[in-house]
């Protein structure tokens, strides 16, 4: 396995997937080409990945291919699976649930698939959530709906209690669909399973509408979210054009990473200013947003501003509050921005109208589009193949159009953020015409 020690972060890239033991049982699947653990996807991690790792030179790295194995760890007809969904909603969760159930039943003939209700709470008896039996019949239509049929929740639960529940239910394979927090929960559950020397496979299916999980270049639901976000931007543009000095302000998801804001801005080409958490823009001063906005209104009589949820936190007083899962509670930057626009434009004597659109809950809850459905289907199938072969403590992901296994440690290390040194961000800024704003590009951008 390629390994490389990183002097600064002491990080070595090890892509070995942990297993529960030897896979000796012939697979019941008889019609397919099997994948081999030795085969895989070899890539050179480029600068975008390397920045996450704090390294400088390209690193060759090989990821194990996802897909069915000729030999399995589990005797599948005696194997019980469970699925849990945690964190916020994202288009495609039901597609993943459906794919896991269909694959497990139809191709592996498993003994049963249980649905855990309302996230990690569903494991804990005191909450009284019933366990649901998931069958091909019960899941056949769920992909037509957004959200998660299992329900979700935030908030920590004791890994010991969760593993107690897995033992009580005789679960052999647990599939956990969720974001960064859920992947950390997978880690703690795997640690407890290992401590008890149990043979339970735990596979993560990374879900993040913000697209912010390391090593996952594009997470499922992201494309649908961008589609939906562009509709909101288009409406904001129409509203802005419909009034003298009309301003359309759209808030999109992106707590620490501005991917949805950037991608939908780049797609719709009507946005004049896009503010993301990764940039330390200013509101005032020669290169600040407010004078640039006034200038834009003077010239074109309308403007569209897209703000990612976590943008502008550097301009607000620090808030140390966290939600029940430990995520920081963000300051309300769009309210500050609206107030500052009002103040600035009144001071320069410029009448305006502002229409504010926050489509977040609509975007999160729509059903997945066609491409995301394909993606979710393959993730669900790949997760089942991996679990049956006895692989654990890993996630399934699409990387460069291939489906691969990624060790949990790699994806939980650091949150993925938009690289503002990238050609991509430069192109987004070019499409808005805002590259003159201070903070949108790093000071030494041209030397990089
Ligand atoms: P989203 O993309 O919506 O943020 P998420 O998976 O990050 O999804 P969280 O609410 O942060 O959502 O976490 C999901 C579950 O994982 C919660 O029940 C949370 O308590 C648990 N969790 C979060 N961090 C950890 C951790 N470090 N160890 C164990 N469990 C955790
Ligand atoms: Mg999260």
Give the closest ligand to the alpha carbon of residue 89. Answer: 1
Integer CA distances (angstroms), 366 to 205, 363, 444, in order: 19, 6, 41
Report the residue among 210, 325, 412, 415 best suited for mutation to probe ligand 1: largest number of ligand atoms under 8 A from its CB: 325
Provide the whole-model pTM.
Answer: 0.92
Residue 424 to residue 382: CA distance in whole angstroms: 30
Nearest to 251 by CA among 307, 182, 297, 209: 307
**Are 410 and 259 spatial neighbours (Cβ–Cβ below 8 Å)?**
no
Tokens representing residue 404 in the block: 């691969």
Q: What's residue 208's pLDDT? A: 86
Question: Quick check: CB of 182 below 6 Å from ligand 1?
Answer: yes
Q: Cα torsion at 162, 163, 167, 172 (round to 10°)?
A: 100
Q: What's residue 320's pLDDT? A: 75
Question: For residue 137, what are the contacts with CB-CB under 8 A and spacing of at least 6?
Answer: none
Distance 207 CA to ligand 1 centre (A): 11
Distance 189 CA to ligand 1 centre (A): 12
Nearest to 425 by CA among 218, 292, 289, 278: 278
Ramachandran bin of 204, using left for φ above 0, alpha for ψ from -120 to 50, beta for the remaining angles: beta
**Are 91 and 84 spatial neighbours (Cβ–Cβ below 8 Å)?**
no
Tokens representing residue 90 in the block: 């994202």
> What b/e string do you get for 239-263 counting C-beta neighbours within 10 Å, with b at 16 or more?
bbeebebbbbbbbbbbbbbbbbbbb
Give per-10-residue mean pLDDT for the chain (448 aa).
Answer: 41 82 94 82 66 64 92 97 96 98 97 98 97 98 96 95 98 96 95 98 92 84 96 97 97 94 95 96 92 96 97 85 83 95 97 97 95 97 98 94 91 84 90 82 60
* Closest ligand 1 atom number to CA of residue 189: 29
Question: Quick check: CB of 116 below 6 Å from ligand 1?
Answer: no
Q: Which residues surround the ion ligand 2 when the cut-off is CB under 5 Å?
A: 179-181
Domain boundaries, the chain: 71-219+368-412, 222-317+326-365+420-432
CATH 2.40.110.10 fits 71-219+368-412, yes or no: no
CATH fold match for the domains 71-219+368-412 and 222-317+326-365+420-432? yes
Question: Quick check: CB of 254 below 6 Å from ligand 1?
Answer: no
Q: Which residues are catalytic?
A: 210
Cα 349 off chain centre by: 43
Residue whose pair of structure tokens reads 């007083």 in the numeric block: 317
Question: Quick check: CB of 385 below 6 Å from ligand 1?
Answer: no
Tokens representing residue 194 in the block: 């290992």
Q: What are phi and psi of 176, to 5 degrees?
A: -115, 115
Residue 125 to residue 111: CA distance in whole angstroms: 23
ipTM here: 0.96
Cα 105 off chain centre by: 27
Tokens representing residue 11 in the block: 């990080």
**Are 35 and 406 spatial neighbours (Cβ–Cβ below 8 Å)?**
no
**Are 392 and 20 spatial neighbours (Cβ–Cβ below 8 Å)?**
yes
Integer CA distances (angstroms), 139 to 56, 84, 388, in order: 47, 14, 21
Total residue count of the chain as it appears in this document: 448
Residue 169 to residue 309: CA distance in whole angstroms: 40
CATH of 222-317+326-365+420-432, one of 1.20.1070.10, 1.20.200.10, 3.40.50.460, 3.90.550.10: 3.40.50.460
């Amino acid at each position: 396995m390629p390994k490389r020690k990183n002097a600064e972060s002491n990080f070595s890239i090890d892509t070995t997937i942990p297993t529960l033991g030897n896979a000796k049982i012939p697979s019941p699947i008889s019609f397919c080409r099997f994948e081999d653990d030795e085969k895989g996807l070899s890539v050179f991690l480029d600068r975008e990945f390397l920045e996450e790792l704090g390294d400088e030179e390209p690193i060759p790295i090989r990821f194990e291919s996802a897909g069915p194995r000729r030999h399995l760890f589990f005797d599948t007809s005696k194997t019980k699976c469970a699925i849990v969904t945690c964190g916020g909603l994202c288009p495609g969760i039901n597609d993943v649930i459906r794919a896991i159930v269909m694959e497990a039943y139809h191709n592996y003939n498993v003994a049963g698939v249980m649905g855990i209700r309302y996230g990690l709470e569903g494991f804990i008896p005191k909450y009284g959530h019933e366990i649901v039996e998931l069958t091909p019949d019960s899941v056949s239509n769920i992909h037509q709906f957004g959200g998660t049929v299992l329900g979700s929740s935030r908030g920590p639960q004791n890994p010991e209690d969760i593993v107690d529940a897995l033992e009580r239910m005789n679960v052999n394979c647990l599939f956990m669909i969720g974001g960064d927090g859920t992947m950390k929960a997978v880690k703690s559950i795997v640690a407890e399973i290992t401590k008890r020397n149990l043979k339970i496979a735990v596979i993560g299916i990374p879900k993040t509408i913000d697209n912010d999980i390391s090593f996952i270049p594009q997470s499922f639901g992201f494309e649908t979210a961008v589609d939906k976000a562009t509709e909101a931007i288009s409406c904001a543009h129409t509203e802005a054009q419909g009034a003298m000095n009309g301003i359309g302000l759209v808030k999109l998801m992106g707590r620490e990473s501005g991917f949805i804001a950037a991608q939908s801005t780049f797609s719709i080409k009507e946005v004049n200013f896009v503010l993301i958490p990764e940039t330390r823009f200013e509101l005032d001063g020669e290169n600040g947003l407010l004078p640039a906005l006034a200038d834009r209104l003077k010239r074109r009589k309308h403007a569209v501003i897209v703000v990612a949820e976590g943008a502008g936190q550097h301009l607000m007083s620090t808030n140390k509050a966290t939600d029940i899962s430990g995520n920081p509670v963000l300051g309300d930057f769009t309210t500050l921005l609206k107030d500052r626009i009002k103040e600035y434009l009144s001071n320069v004597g410029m009448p305006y109208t502002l229409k504010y659109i926050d489509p977040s809950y609509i975007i999160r809850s729509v059903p997945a589009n066609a491409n995301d459905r394909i993606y979710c289907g393959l993730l669900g199938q790949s997760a089942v193949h991996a679990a049956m072969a006895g692989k654990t403590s890993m996630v399934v992901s699409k990387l460069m159009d291939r489906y691969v296994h990624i060790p949990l440690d790699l994806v939980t290390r650091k949150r993925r953020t938009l690289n503002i040194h990238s050609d991509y961000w430069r192109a987004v800024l070019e499409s808005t015409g805002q590259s003159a704003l201070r903070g949108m590009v790093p000071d030494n951008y041209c030397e990089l």
